[in-house]
Amino acid sequence: MSDADFPEVDLFGDAVIPRKEGRGRPEHAWTLANSNKVLLAFARGMTVKQAATGIGVSVPTLRKHYSSEVAQREAAAIRFEMVQLSRLNEGAKAGSVSAEKELGRRLEKARLAELSDQVSQHARPPRPAPLGKKAMAQQDAEEVRGRFEPPPPPPSLLN
């Protein structure tokens, strides 16, 4: 069934499917539109639960019907960016000056982001996490020297 079979749509543009005879809820059907929505959600950095909510299904239903999209979750943002750059490159090859300018801007932005990451790694080490009261007391107890120093561990048995 396609969206053309059901002319009515709800608030979010999804087709309103009339209820068929039978018990229970009708099974979810995979659609290209929902597949693209899931991929865009992952490209934006959303979680599986947020993507499922976005298309109006539960997480198990999303994992069942959109397993290939879920498998691409980690690389979705990178793949989306590469598709955009490829399209801009094709437009620039075809003679579009605006596509060429946008491609140049995006490549420069990516280069600056990479350079910024390199510089920030060499700047200064991150501060250690602040210790809590118990951890500070334990650290102070381990640093005690002199009369109240804990005894050294006993020697190990040698055979």
Judged on CB neighbours under 10 Å (0-12, 13-18, 19+), 155 is exposed
Residue 137 lies in a domain: no
- pTM of the entire structure? 0.56
Residues 62 and 86 in one domain: no
Confidence of residue 2 (pLDDT cuts 50, 70, 90): low
Mean pLDDT of all residues in the chain?
85
Residue 151 lies in a domain: no
List of residues 6+ apart from 7 with CB closer than 8 A = none
Residue 35 lies in a domain: yes
Contact between 139 and 131 under an 8 Å Cβ cutoff? The reply is yes
Residues 85 and 115 in one domain: yes
List of residues 6+ apart from 85 with CB closer than 8 A = 103, 106, 107
User: Once rounded to an integer, what is the mean pLDDT over residues 140-158?
Assistant: 82
Our count of domains for the chain comes to 2
pLDDT digit string (tens) for 59-83? 999 999 999 899 989 889 899 999 9
Residues 65 and 88 in one domain: no
Residue 131 lies in a domain: no
Q: Residue 108's domain spans which residues?
A: 76-122
pLDDT digit string (tens) for 20-31? 666 777 788 888
Task: Flag whether pLDDT at 4 surpasses 60.
Answer: no
Residues 17 and 61 in one domain: yes
Confidence of residue 159 (pLDDT cuts 50, 70, 90): low
Select from 54, 71, 88 the last residue of a domain.
Answer: 71
Residues 35 and 81 in one domain: no
Residues 7 and 44 in one domain: yes
